[in-house]
Amino acid sequence: MNNSSTDTGAETPIVPPELHGRRRPAPLSRADRSPLAKWYAEVDRGLLAMILGLMAIGLLAVAVASPVGARVAARRGQEFGEMYYLWRQLFWVATGIGFMIFFGMRSKLEVRRIALWGTVAGILALFAVLVVGTEVNGSQRWLGSGVLRLQPSEFLKPMFAVSMAWILSCRVEDETLPVFSLTMITTALVAALLMLEPDFGQTVLYVGTWVVLVFVAGLPMRAMGYLGGGIGAFLLGTYFLYDNARNRIDGFLFGQGDSHQVDRGLDTLSNSGLIGSGPFTGTAKFRLPEAHTDYIYSVIGEEFGLIACAGILVLYVALIVRVLQRLREERDQFVILAGTGLVAQFGGQVMINIAVNLQLAPSKGMTLPFISYGGSSLWALSITMGFLLALTRRNPYRAPPLNLNGWNPR
């Protein structure tokens, strides 16, 4: 057999192996071996860019809505500058990025431990809210007062999703473990505490996250049917037992009760046109009750147009699809479930907020992720994204799994 390279003494060039169609990156230099540099080499940069993009959009949206919040505060006897909420949001974003990087650098084991302890602490905090919590707009959801006011239910969300995912993943090793019952009891406890505040919107989000998790974990379809019936009974009971929920649902379905908020939100959004009125030129936003928080999507529509609203929605969908694509490459049941729970929670919050702004759902008091003003929400979402970045990290020097379509959780 004739080998020209052997005969001539020339060396055959070594071609670096490729990973997912791209060349394997060069080894890190000594100067690039810091923990942050290693993390950046492993992290999903596309996902990171989308998160930072949403934060940037949020800062612009809060800037145009901040004067509205300042006027509302003035009517309550609080004098703030017009950009007061923007400066505070800048602080939340800067510290939130720090939280995201910190949690994004954790290992899978560390993420699981943080989530378990965080769930315990979060449930205890929900009990504390009922005893010493601060009441705002008829709901007792916060701990602290003034500038030091936090909403425990926001911080519990990522912890809850990951810890429930870990419990359900234990079924892979021992199918006799009562994982469904244990997670159902935990979810019922959290839901009961939230309804006592009351916070119907967060309750729906928690229960919905759990339903997605048990479905992906392999709960039989017959059991899913029973579960659906139980949730229907819960919603019916909520309607008859909670005046606040009944008034909002009646206002949404029958035009009865107080539907002022959703009516104003839709009016602001529907009058925007394709390109809007321009930054800081909107007038309808001053008639919104919570322009910088619950109804910031309507403010964006008025000032930047329906094209901007559609672009934001596309960015949210792209982020969710990006995570699901990464999860398709996973074999670890815990990572699959945790990532699914976190992204379902995130997507559910987006869907609820936008549905309220479009008058497709009654008012819930739910923020738009990374865009609405709010420290608790932004910090909690930063932790959520930190967990997702940690769970979807890839070692660029390791070969990919042989089975890239191995996601078969059922």
The Cα–Cα gap between 247 and 195 comes to 15
60-88 mean pLDDT: 85
Beta carbons within 10 angstroms of residue 340's beta carbon = 23
Structure tokens at 179: 């994982």
Bridge partners for 144 per DSSP? 149
pLDDT of residue 261: 62
Q: Which residues, 6 or more positions from 321, have their beta carbon under 8 angstroms from its beta carbon?
A: none
Put the strands of the sheet holding 139-145 in their side by side order.
Answer: 134-136, 139-145, 148-150
pTM for this model (two decimals): 0.85
Helix axes 152-169, 200-217, angle to 10 degrees: 10
- Nearest Cα to Cα of residue 364 among 134, 186, 149, 201: 201
Closest CA to 161 of 119, 224, 99, 204: 119
pLDDT of residue 307: 94
| Tokens 């809210």 sit on residue | 129
Kindly tell me if the per-residue pLDDT of 41 is higher than 60. yes
Check if the beta carbon of residue 282 is closer than 8 Å to that of residue 64.
yes
Q: What percentage of the chain carries pLDDT values higher than 90?
A: 50
17 pLDDT above the threshold of 50:
no
What does the pLDDT average to over 142-161? 89
Residue pLDDT, tens place only, 360-394 = 887 777 899 999 999 999 999 999 999 999 999 98
Average of per-residue pLDDT across 111-116: 97
pLDDT, averaged across the chain: 84
